[in-house]
Amino acid sequence: MSASGTPVRQGVWAAPGRVNIIGEHTDYNDGYALPIALPQTVTCAARATGDGRVRVSSRQHPGDTVDEPIAELDGSRVAGWARYPLGVVHEYVRRGHAIAGVELVLDGAVPVGAGLSSSAAVECSVAIALRDLFALPVTDADLIDVGRAAENSYVGAATGTLDQSASVLCTAGHALFLDFGKGEHAQVPFDLAATGLALLVVDTNTPHRLADGGYGRRRTECEQAAAALGVRSLRDVTDVGEVDRLADPVLRRRARHIVSENARVLAVVEALRGGGDPRAIGPILDAGHASLRDDFEISTPQLDAAVDSAVAAGAYGARMVGGGFGGSIIALTAADRTERTARAIEQRFRADGFAEPRTFVAVPSAGAHRVS
């Protein structure tokens, strides 16, 4: 809400993408995760109109303006990028909030399809803009749930709340420890530069599409595994040996990833909170990639090549991030070796005939906020 608690007529809001230090596919299993917000954001320039319509345009899609009656969003056939902001408007209205009419202009620096939560950044930038424009009585938890519901029900991607939570709750200089089972979060200091380290993000330029089915199948398999083990969710299994009771080898692999990934998140949080050398989390990142590759089976040749090349170039640890089936990796490196690591990955990609990757150093940044 605005500082005065009253509606504002127009403004610009921003919400960041995110990258997970550790904790993939754990959110919808009531587990743990540890993301940071990226400096790359999606901005939403919003203006209240009062005409009963929502108009959405994007700097990345010039000439493709969408104009829909708010009362008819439930049956809208609009597809593609515009469905994300329309879904947020629809979700607010569905929950009984009055949106009299609005114009939204989006501009994004978060790479699309890179597993860095560009969609959640869109949703959260629109959600916080609408909250302030219309002085809606919603909490941060509500913002997160509106974005999640828009992506689940309106877009059709069966995601959890990890991406929206990171986009709303992260703070600069920290990683965000999320406990989805208890609905709790805490800030964990994450200042790699102070120890001469850096977190290199490598976008493999192989876009993933969570709504295409692979993500939803993994979620269903996790639910089936939990049911077969007689627990409410896989978070309730703390001994990885328990998954061996599953007769189905696919469900056994899926459950093993979730149980071991939760343990990895807790181990990384303990290491960072204890003030030890962050290099110690490198092997945990490596183990996380092996689990996503072998047990959850969502890696790709490009992701594996990027991880292998980063480690061979001297990274302390590396792993794929995001929902999988494409996207990005992270590599924990010495700050003065990021360029060398990036070049090694680029050379490997050229040799293998892959598209050219894109790299940048991730700096823990602030969550969603008003810009002007």
State the CATH number of the domain containing residue 65: 3.30.230.10
Residues in the chain: 372
Whichever domain contains 351, its CATH number is: 3.30.70.890
Q: Which domain holds residue 149?
A: 10-186+366-370
What is the mean predicted confidence (pLDDT) over 71-80?
Answer: 95
Do 59 and 160 belong together in one domain?
yes
pLDDT of residue 216: 87
What is the mean predicted confidence (pLDDT) over 60-69?
Answer: 95
Q: How many helices (H) and strands (E) does the chain have?
A: 9, 12
C-alpha distances (whole Å) from 263 to each of 141, 227, 237, 239, 275 are: 25, 21, 10, 9, 19
Q: How far apart are CA 245 and CA 371, in angstroms?
A: 52
Q: How confident is the model at residue 1 (pLDDT cuts 50, 70, 90)?
A: very low
Taking the alpha carbons at both ends of the chain, their separation in whole angstroms is: 13
Contact 297, 195 (CB under 8 A): no
Q: Looking at the predicted structure, is the pLDDT value of residue 236 above 80?
A: yes
Contact 282, 316 (CB under 8 A): yes
Q: Looking at the predicted structure, is the pLDDT value of residue 281 above 60?
A: yes
Q: How far apart are CA 122 and CA 102, in angstroms?
A: 16
C-alpha distances (whole Å) from 262 to each of 31, 36, 200, 304 are: 6, 17, 23, 22
Pairing of strands 53-58, 66-69: antiparallel
What is the mean predicted confidence (pLDDT) over 127-154?
Answer: 96
pLDDT of residue 7: 72
pLDDT of residue 19: 96
Q: In this predicted structure, which of 58-62, 86-90, 206-210, 245-249 has the lowest mean pLDDT? A: 206-210
For residue 89, is it within any domain? yes
Q: DSSP string covering 97-150, please?
A: -----EEEEEEE-SPTTSSS-HHHHHHHHHHHHHHHHTT----HHHHHHHHHHI
Q: How confident is the model at residue 5 (pLDDT cuts 50, 70, 90)?
A: low
Q: Looking at the predicted structure, is the pLDDT value of residue 211 above 90?
A: no
Q: Is 163 noted as a catalytic residue in this protein?
A: yes
H helices of 20-105, in order, are 83-94
pLDDT of residue 275: 83
Contact 243, 229 (CB under 8 A): yes
pLDDT in tens, 161-191: 999 999 999 999 999 999 999 999 999 999 9
- The mean predicted confidence, pLDDT, of the chain is 95
Calculate what percentage of the chain has a pLDDT beyond 70. 97
Helix (H, G, I), strand (E, B) or coil at 16: strand
Between 112 and 364, residue with greater pLDDT: 364
Q: In this predicted structure, which of 158-162, 256-260, 347-351 has the lowest mean pLDDT? A: 158-162
Q: How confident is the model at residue 298 (pLDDT cuts 50, 70, 90)?
A: very high
pLDDT in tens, 321-346: 998 999 999 999 999 999 999 999 99
User: Which phi and psi (to 5°) does residue 294 adopt?
Assistant: -95, -40
For residue 15, is it within any domain? yes
Q: How far apart are CA 323 and CA 316, in angstroms?
A: 23
For residue 3, is it within any domain? no
Do 168 and 214 belong together in one domain?
no
Enclosing H/E stretch for 105: strand 102-108
Q: How confident is the model at residue 4 (pLDDT cuts 50, 70, 90)?
A: very low
Q: How far apart are CA 56 and CA 361, in angstroms?
A: 31
Do 57 and 194 belong together in one domain?
no
For residue 330, is it within any domain? yes
Q: Looking at the predicted structure, is the pLDDT value of residue 350 above 50?
A: yes
Marked catalytic residue, from 27, 132, 145, 163:
163
Do 16 and 28 belong together in one domain?
yes
Nearest C-alpha neighbor of 152 from the set 69, 83, 246, 78 = 83
pLDDT of residue 3: 45
For residue 2, is it within any domain? no
pLDDT of residue 210: 54
pLDDT of residue 251: 98
Helix (H, G, I), strand (E, B) or coil at 116: coil
Do 247 and 151 belong together in one domain?
no
What is the mean predicted confidence (pLDDT) over 272-286?
Answer: 93
pLDDT of residue 209: 61
